[in-house]
């Protein structure tokens, strides 16, 4: 079965403490939204301490066209993607020696916060010495589920081509979608959660020669994956595309949907692999927010400690959409032991879930 060999991450240089964002948002919205103070509690309740943004706070108080925002997206996405890839192929916490770029056979690029044609992976291939025959698989629009879906698609490719080495790159610049004229509750909640970042993950097939590069006794083996689409749920999460750019759609029912819908989906997937929820050693969850993590705990009846890594990532990075679960994955890569099992899980627009069942195997 395909193995996850290494992970690398990257964030912008602008680190913003949550306590500094609150007065900024209050001043920006107060004249048009006199009751804004009622909503500002979401900034504290979310338990986020700090985040990384593409620009300094003052930039977000200025007018920016969709064209300007998108150009910033392209430039920053390329920069962060390249940095994450470099960190992935040279991460000596996982690798005995650096991976050469010509050893990578394919690149899966995931994002939902900007538009580029040629896609960002083509720009990357013109900066890094990737081979000209590299397979490119860009994926757009899966939102928070994109990173988990990318793991699944890397699994599919490596199953079909067991000698292959596939690089998954996820980059999201959620802050560039901020709408300073949008007085909706969804925009306020998104502003309290969203952040920017990138992650790269190297997935290798059974016959890959790179397996010998690991320094860990055991690596997570991807046993099986699952994608589930909830019928008639298009309005739960996504973007509303307008002349000014991307406006966030967040249903207030997301935590309750997670509580009522996710458990049978997870149970069915695990049962098909002769496992139960209480038999998992690790729960590698995308931290969409504190309420979402609480909904995982309630729905799946799991020990809150199993979401502690996800909560730590949320506290220190915020919700970076698709790449966040890959930040969580990196932490579990460091602590996983032989024969332990884990479920990597993320939810996104559609409304949908993406899951991968992992087992740490001896290398």
- Which amino acids are annotated catalytic? 144
Q: In 1-76, which ranges are E strands?
A: 3-10, 14-17, 50-53
Provide the b/e sequence for 227-250 (b: ≥16 CB within 10 Å). bbebeebeebbbbeeeeebbbbbb
HEC profile for 176-192?
HHCCCCCCCHHHHHHHH
The H or E element spanning position 155 is: helix 146-160
Beta bridge partners of 109: 138, 169
- For residue 13, the SS3 value is coil
- For residue 106, the SS3 value is strand
Q: What angle do CA 63, 21, 53 make, to 5 degrees?
A: 65
Joined tokens for residue 187:
């925009």
């Amino acid at each position: 079965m395909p193995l996850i060999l290494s992970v690398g991450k990257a964030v912008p240089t602008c680190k913003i403490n949550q306590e500094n964002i609150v007065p900024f948002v209050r001043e920006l919205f107060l004249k048009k939204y006199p009751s804004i103070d009622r909503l500002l509690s979401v900034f504290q309740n979310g338990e986020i301490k700090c985040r990384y943004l593409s620009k300094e706070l003052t930039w977000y108080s200025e007018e920016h066209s969709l064209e300007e925002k998108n150009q910033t997206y392209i430039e920053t996405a390329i920069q962060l993607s390249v940095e994450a890839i470099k960190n992935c192929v040279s991460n000596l916490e996982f690798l005995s020696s650096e991976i050469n770029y010509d050893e990578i056979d394919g690149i899966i690029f995931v994002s939902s916060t900007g538009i580029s044609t040629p896609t960002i992976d083509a720009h990357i291939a013109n900066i890094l010495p990737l081979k000209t025959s590299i397979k490119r698989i860009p994926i757009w629009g899966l939102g928070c589920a994109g990173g988990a879906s990318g793991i699944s698609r890397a699994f599919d490719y490596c199953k079909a081509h067991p000698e292959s080495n596939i690089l998954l790159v996820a980059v999201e610049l959620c802050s560039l979608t901020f709408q300073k004229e949008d007085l909706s509750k969804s925009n306020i909640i998104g502003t309290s959660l969203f952040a920017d970042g990138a992650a790269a993950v190297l997935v290798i097939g059974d016959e890959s020669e790179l397996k010998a590069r690991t320094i860990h006794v055991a690596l997570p083996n991807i046993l099986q994956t699952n994608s589930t689409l909830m019928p008639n749920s298009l309005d739960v999460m996504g973007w509303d595309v307008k002349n000014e750019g991307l406006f966030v759609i967040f249903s207030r029912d997301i935590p309750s949907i997670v509580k009522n819908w996710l458990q049978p989906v997870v149970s069915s997937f695990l049962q098909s692999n002769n496992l139960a929820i209480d038999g998992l050693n690790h729960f590698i969850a995308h931290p969409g927010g504190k309420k979402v993590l609480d909904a995982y705990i309630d729905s799946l009846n799991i020990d809150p400690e199993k979401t502690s890594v996800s909560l730590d990532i949320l506290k220190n990075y915020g919700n970076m959409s698709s790449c966040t679960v890959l930040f969580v994955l990196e932490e579990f890569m460091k602590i996983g032991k032989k024969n332990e099992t884990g479920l990597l899980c993320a939810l996104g627009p559609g409304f949908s879930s993406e899951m991968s069942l992992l087992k740490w195997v001896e290398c």
